[in-house]
Amino acid sequence: MKLGVCKITGFLIAFVTLGFQSIDAKPIYIGVSNPDMSFLSGGVAHFQGYFKDEGLDVEVLQMNANVSVAALAAGNIDYNLILQSVVTANLRGLPLKVAGILIERPNHAVVVHPSIQKFADLKGKKIAISSFGSLVDILARLTSAHFKLDPKSDVQYVAAGSSSARLTQLQTGVVQAAFLTPPGNLRAEAAGFKTLLNVRDLFAFPVNGIGLHEQKLKNERDEVKKITRALLRANRFILDNPKGAIKILAAWGRSKLEVAEEAYQYNYKNYSRNLLVSRPTLENVIESTRWNVEAKRNVAVDDVFDFTIVREILKEMGETPK
């Protein structure tokens, strides 16, 4: 279901006007970019009834990243699974936090012209990304640095928009490489290009998580705990039940079963079983974001990430969170 911020705002105003005050009486809105493998946690929690098991009425809404983070800050949606937009907003001063990590490694692939044999061959070349300051931008610069190329001077990044638009720039020769997500990289291979590497094999970098307003985390912890528990169950379903996850992915994304299976097989290992990642990984997310968006605000890990509720849930399940 796709719903604009204005419609959500109007709905909430109407809701208040009618005099309903109970948090349990209103729907809970969760923002995602697309009904695809990258946000399957939300789809599985909905289709499997995990939200309902927690007594919640949840709607998962497709929204642009910039719109969704603005809606989250304004209180027009309750949660946002687009992690990088939440981290960036926090560094820019908005009172948003991340309560758990859903995907701990990126699913992006570097697709190149057949003449490129190694990443170092891209020195002096152009690389297509989505937009400046985005997750793809950050991953592209981290990848360049990983291969000893100066992200500021050795390569040129071209903001090309969507994954399909990046592929078009590669096909027309505007760029010599592109950061693509499935099935974009598979379409590129079919068109004669090659996948040079998968970013997940280079470093851990969380790409999706449970974003929320600081006030919700402070004042509505019971609801946050229920949402988090439902998404934790969803992640474990994705990891442990391939056939079920693929079926839900196909239904949610309205794709063919074979397309959903291909996307699942390429991405499922990137999902977090415990919604936790190491502190050094989180420090890298913050520092990379600060550097990339030129944010001057110095923040600590605990200013952005709060995993206390996840740890509570794991302890209640008899597990020892690391």
- Residue-by-residue DSSP string for 45-70: HHHTTHHHHTT--EEEEE--HHHHHH
Task: Give the CATH number for residue 190.
Answer: 3.40.190.10
Q: How far is it, in rounded angstroms, from Cα 140 to Cα 303?
A: 25
Residue 322 domain-assigned (yes or no): no
Instruction: Look at residue 17 in the predicted model and tell me its pLDDT.
Output: 29
Same domain, 213 and 305: yes
Q: Which of 174, 201, 228 is the last residue of a domain?
A: 201
DSSP state of 271: B
Same domain, 165 and 288: no
Same domain, 70 and 13: yes
Same domain, 272 and 255: yes
Decide the pairing of beta strands 28-32 and 177-180: unpaired
User: Which pTM value belongs to this model?
Assistant: 0.83
Q: How far is CA 38 from the centre of its chain?
A: 6
Orientation of helix 135-146 relative to helix 279-293, angle to 10°: 110
Same domain, 95 and 221: yes
Q: How far is it, in rounded angstroms, from Cα 21 to Cα 213?
A: 19
Same domain, 19 and 159: no
Q: Which of 179, 201, 223 is the last residue of a domain?
A: 201
Sign of CA dihedral 176, 180, 186, 187: negative
95: tokens are: 């009172």
Span 274-293, pLDDT tens digits: 999 999 999 999 988 887 77
Number of structural domains found in the chain: 2
Contact (Cβ atoms closer than 8 angstroms) between residue 61 and residue 3: yes
Same domain, 210 and 148: no
Q: Which domain holds residue 138?
A: 109-201
Beta partners for residue 94, in sequence order: none
Span 23-78, pLDDT tens digits: 444 899 999 988 888 899 999 999 999 999 999 999 999 988 889 999 999 999 99
Residue with more model confidence, 44 or 10: 44
Same domain, 274 and 126: no
Residue 308 clears pLDDT 70, i.e. is over it: yes
